[in-house]
Structure 1
Amino acid sequence: MKLQVRGIEEGQPIPEKFAFGVYSEEDHMSFGPNRNPEITWEDAPEGTKSFVVMMFDPDVPSVADDVNQEGKTVSKDLPRVDFFHWLLVDIPANVNRIPEGEDSDGVSPKGKDHGPGPIGVRGVNNYTQFLAGNPDMAGTYAGYDGPCPPWNDEIIHHYQFEVHALDVESLGLEGEFDGNDVRQAMKGHVLDSARVTGTYTLNPDLR
């Protein structure tokens, strides 16, 4: 399979229009346009009955104590974990494109609805946990929400856009399912996959 993420070249920085957070000299970070990029895929194998689209960041600090704290940095030596930014399942086999802005166009305080969306079924991304302690933003975040890595992180983050062709029409996931639920449900059903990786940082020393 081949995957194209329009505006994002392999290994290159992700444009700010696709980001949840953009660099700000005054406050380190301000909200970005948060539009999902257009993605297209082709050459799905015979027998494909549905697709899964996901985007995740494998470079998120496993301990958040120093995240976005003045006078501190998030060490490059800290163990990292996956943070899911976009989960769409049960995308019909006759679909091979998601237009820019179709699943997100702006930051939605308190999140977007999970369940059936414009294309496929939306899973819950990890902003749900990340913003849980913020009374203005806390909620259930589903669909696409773009990059917003810690502005004091010593490493550049890598964002993996993936499409998976499956041999089932539905993964049978309901409610507030997350990235780990999707990975578990996909096991044994993936016919082929493709990936594009973009980078992003809010650390002025790395920009």
Structure 2
Amino acid sequence: MKVHFNGITEGQPVPEKFAFGVYAEEGHMSFGPNRNPEVSWEDVPEGTRSFAVVMYDSDVPSVADDVNQEGKTVSKDLPRVDFFHWLLVDIPASSRLVPEGEDSDGVSPKGKPPGKGPIGIRGVNNFTQFLAGNPDMAGTYGGYDGPCPPWNDELVHHYHYEVFALDVESLGLDGEFDGEAVRNAMEGHVLASERVTATYTLNPALR
């Protein structure tokens, strides 16, 4: 299977048009265009009955105490965890494209609804937990929301964009399912998968 994320290049920075947060001199960051990238695929294995698209950041601090705090830094030695940014499942077997901006075009305060989207079914990304304490932003974040790493992190973050060809028409997920639920449901059903890994930082010392 060949997969192409338009504008996302292996080992290169994620373009700002796909980011939830962009660098700003005042206040360290501001909201970005937050568009989902176009993703297309071909040379699909025989027996494919649906597709899933997953994007996650593997470099999120496991402890958030110092995140985005003035006068502090997030140490590069801190253990890191996965943070899911995009979960799209039950994409029909006939599909070969998710257009740019189809699943997200701009930051939606309090989030986009999970469930049936323009293409496939949206899971819940980890902005749901990250923004839970912010009264202006707290909500359930479905579908795509792009990179927004801590502006004081010593580590450049890595974003993994993946497409999976699956041997089932549906993963049987509904409600507010998360990234771990998607990974568990896909187990034993992946016929092929492809990944592109790009980077992003809001730390001016690393840009």
TM class, shorter-length: over 0.9
CA distance in 2, matches of 1:72, 1:171: 42
Task: Report the TM-score when normalising by structure 1.
Answer: 0.99
CA distance in 1, matches of 2:33, 2:153: 22
CA distance in 1, matches of 2:71, 2:136: 25
Following TM superposition, by how much is the alpha carbon of 1:96 offset from its aligned partner in structure 2, in angstroms? 1.0
Give the corresponding residue for 2:131. Answer: 131
Segments of 5+ residues of structure 1 without an aligned counterpart are none
- Sequence identity percentage: 80
Secondary structure of the corresponding residue to residue 17 of structure 1: helix
Which aligned segments of 4 or more residues in structure 1 are displaced greater than 4 angstroms? Answer: none
Give the corresponding residue for 1:12. Answer: 12
Give the corresponding residue for 2:54. Answer: 54
Q: Deviations over 1:52-73 (max 9, x none)?
A: 1010000000000000001110
Amino acid at match of 1:68: N
Q: Deviations over 1:152-186 (max 9, x none)?
A: 00010010000000000000001000000000000
Secondary structure of the corresponding residue to residue 107 of structure 1: coil
Following TM superposition, by how much is the alpha carbon of 1:108 offset from its aligned partner in structure 2, in angstroms? 0.1
Following TM superposition, by how much is the alpha carbon of 1:198 offset from its aligned partner in structure 2, in angstroms? 1.0
Segments of 5+ residues of structure 2 without an aligned counterpart are none
CA distance in 2, matches of 1:43, 1:152: 42
Give the corresponding residue for 1:41. Answer: 41
The yes-or-no answer on 1:104 pairing with 2:92 is: no
RMSD of aligned alpha carbons:
0.5
CA distance in 1, matches of 2:130, 2:10: 27
Give the corresponding residue for 2:159. Answer: 159
Secondary structure of the corresponding residue to residue 72 of structure 1: coil
Number of equivalences: 207
CA distance in 2, matches of 1:66, 1:47: 48
Task: Report the TM-score when normalising by structure 2.
Answer: 0.99
Alignment of 1:63-142 (within 5 A): 63-142=63-142
CA distance in 2, matches of 1:66, 1:3: 37
CA distance in 1, matches of 2:29, 2:75: 19
